[in-house]
A and B are shown apart, each in its own frame.
Chain A
Amino acid sequence: MIVSKNEIANLLTQLAETYRVIAPVKKDGMLQYAAIKNGEQACLDDANTKKPGKEILFPQSEELFNYTISAEGIRMQDNVDKEATVVFGMRPCDVKSLVLLDNVFQNDQYTDVYYLTRRANTIIVGLGCAQPAATCFCSSVGCGPFAKEGSDIFLTDLGEAYVIEGISDKGKELLAKLSLAEAGAEQKAAAAKLQAEVTADGSINIEGLAEKLGGMFEHPFWESLHEKCIGCGACTYLCPTCHCFDIADEAKDCDGCRVRNWDACMFPLFTLHGSGHNPRTGGKARWRQRLMHKFNYFVDRYNATACVGCGRCIKNCPVNLDIRQALADVRALD
């Protein structure tokens, strides 16, 4: 199917009548995901959002439940978000990150109802990247500018119009309701050509990396890797696959709530015991944890690399640490 760019706003406005539509918008000087009512607000032509798409299913700060204490007892109210949602224009790296996070938020014993309920009620419309940025390396980590894994519907930008493909049943069902024009053979061919030809930096070879890292916990390599790092945690907050969180209670008088907030392995408090003991005392141990978690522990647990190559950690690091270089350095070691 096909939609011309000047019809996109109308399409989104129409969708917003039935669904909560979340799309990239320009707000507070940056590109970020937000719920929109008017399709004109969506900004699909710019590069990737500042914050990763994980925040749609796993918000930076989220109230899990609240409670009121009274003479009669305690009343609890669970805040599971069930609103039917369409995420429009998510880049393939962010879409892939949700596929990875699915592993985390549902394990053999437990289901994170907050994440999973949102997930089940969300349709993801992926948007291919015709012009990957210099920091993008999705093609190195099993993703790519036109990777469709995780998208329910996929858009390919032809300049004047988007070629629209239904990928999952959920996506095809939605498309069937929209009465869009069929794409012509020429347009289909142009989309296929883009999808086949555009790649991001694919020069980082992660094959065999997990095994190599597995034997490297005590390696002197870690001694110097972290030296530049100031432990700000920006890399983890902006990483679409980082899923660590903190849980805390907030209360005033008789009303309280439990919130969860993103947290980061780059902070010393993250692992500090009540006794004062800390298993990860310094930057060396914390950088090792970050790299190992993505490229070894996650692989060991879920058989997938926890990096989608979005490049946010590279773009936003205040001291220019580059995870691509760290990986290349690991590879170059004997």
Chain B
Amino acid sequence: MRNPYLPLPMKLVKNFTETSDKLIHTFTLEYLNEQDAESFQYEPGQFAELMVYGKGEAPFGIASSPTEKGILKFSVAKVGVVSNALHMLEEGTIVGVRGPLGNSYPLEQLKGKSLTIIGGGFAFTTLRSTIQYILDPANRGDYGDLTVIYGARNPGLLLYKDELAAWDARSDINLITTIDREVEGWNGRVGFIPTVTKEVAPKTDYAIICGPPVMIKFTMPVLVECGFTPDRIIMSLENRMKCGIGMCGRCNVGSKYVCKDGPVFTKAQLDQLPNEY
């Protein structure tokens, strides 16, 4: 019987300050045991419990893509006991990882389709995983046009700045970045995600959207206006979780557990559930 509560050991190889307010760090981890690298098979959209020995564990979306072999990446905001401890960790420290957990974005089903990915704030981690996966030379041909709309309050709060620059230089991805208010030296767009989405008016087969509740609330009608049907709008929920395996009972929305039945749901699926998330 495999024990789903036991973490596997990983080494923190990079603790990188991602944003100008220093509140989000990206952690790059390497497997200590080779067989763990083999067995930890994940898909973009899944999450894992990241553990600091002596402090506890907390769930985070996996920011790396399965195409990036041998490592896992998590971008974590400094909020609670575990994330505060994580932020303080020295490179070389051993941490624990439990997962992969939850379902993933339906990348198999999205093959041959064009896609718009919309992210706001630091809810861009599993979206990064998805973009990285699609842009991988081995996968790019499987997908159609890729539009990415990504916004943050100011340029310093955008995650993965080097990668954004690299994506911007490519012709096989249409990247639109936006910030809330005009800042000197900013060449991207200015405006909230719903407004910018309306301006861009994406016409793709599917949309994936991730962000704070208020952003989701106002972007949803725009997507509907753009012609996306509820079964073609894909979202990822975040609820407080502990076990991650559908047993501890706290992350439910109606009869569904976000940790096990989700975190990825289509809008059509969410429309069937109580509005309690």
For the complex, what is the distance from the CA of A293 to the CA of B248, rounded to whole Å?
13
Closest partner residue, chain A, to B248 (CB atom): A245
- Please choose the segment from B65-73, B161-169, B179-187, B249-257 that sits at the chain A interface, where 4 or more of its residues have CB less than 8 A away: B249-257
Does A14 interact with chain B (Cβ within 8 Å)?
no
Which B residue's beta carbon lies closest to that of A249? B56
Nearest CB in chain B: distance from A210 CB, A: 10
The residue in chain B whose Cβ has the minimal distance to the Cβ of A251 is B54
A272 to chain B, nearest CB (A): 6
Q: Are B6 and A107 in contact (CB under 8 A)?
A: no
Assess whether B246 is interfacial by the CB under 8 Å rule. Answer: yes
Question: Are A248's CB and B56's CB within 8 A?
Answer: yes
Chain B contact patch, size range: 35 or more
**Segment at the interface with B among A25-33, A110-118, A150-158, A320-328:** A110-118
Judging by beta carbons under 8 Å apart, are B54 and A256 in contact? yes
**In the complex, are the beta carbons of A113 and B250 less than 8 A apart?**
no
Chain B residues close to A by CB (< 8 Å): 1-6, 9, 51, 53-58, 77, 79-80, 83, 94, 212-213, 238-240, 242-243, 245-255, 260, 274, 276-277
Q: Indicate the size class of the contact surface on chain A.
A: 35 or more
Q: Binding site of B, secondary structure by majority: helix, strand, loop or mixed?
A: loop
**Residue A99 is within 8 A (CB to CB) of chain B in the complex:** no
For residue B171, give the distance in angstroms from its CB to the closest CB of chain A: 37
A107 to B252, CA, bound (A): 15
User: Could you say which of A116, A246, A285 contacts B1, with CB atoms under 8 Å apart?
Assistant: A116
Question: Least Cβ distance of B48 to chain A in Å?
Answer: 14
Which of B213, B240, B249 has a CB less than 8 Å from the CB of A245?
Answer: B249
B57/A256 in contact, CB under 8 A: no
Provide the main secondary structure of the chain A interface. Answer: mixed
Would you call B1 and A117 a contact (CB within 8 A)? Answer: yes
Find chain B residues with CB under 8 A from A80 CB: 3
11 CB contacts below 8 A, A to B, read A67-B53, A69-B54, A80-B3, A114-B5, A217-B274, A247-B5, A263-B242, A265-B250, A274-B58, A275-B212, A297-B252
A244, B250: Cβ atoms under 8 Å?
yes
Residues of A within 8 A of B6 (CB): 65, 76, 78
Question: Closest approach, in angstroms, between the C-beta of A97 and any C-beta of chain B?
Answer: 15
Contacts of A243 in B (CB 8 A): 247-249
Contact of A111 among B1, B239, B251, B255 (CB under 8 A): B1
Query: Cβ of B276: which chain A residues have Cβ within 8 Å of it?
Result: 279-280, 285
B79 near A74 with CB under 8 A, answer no
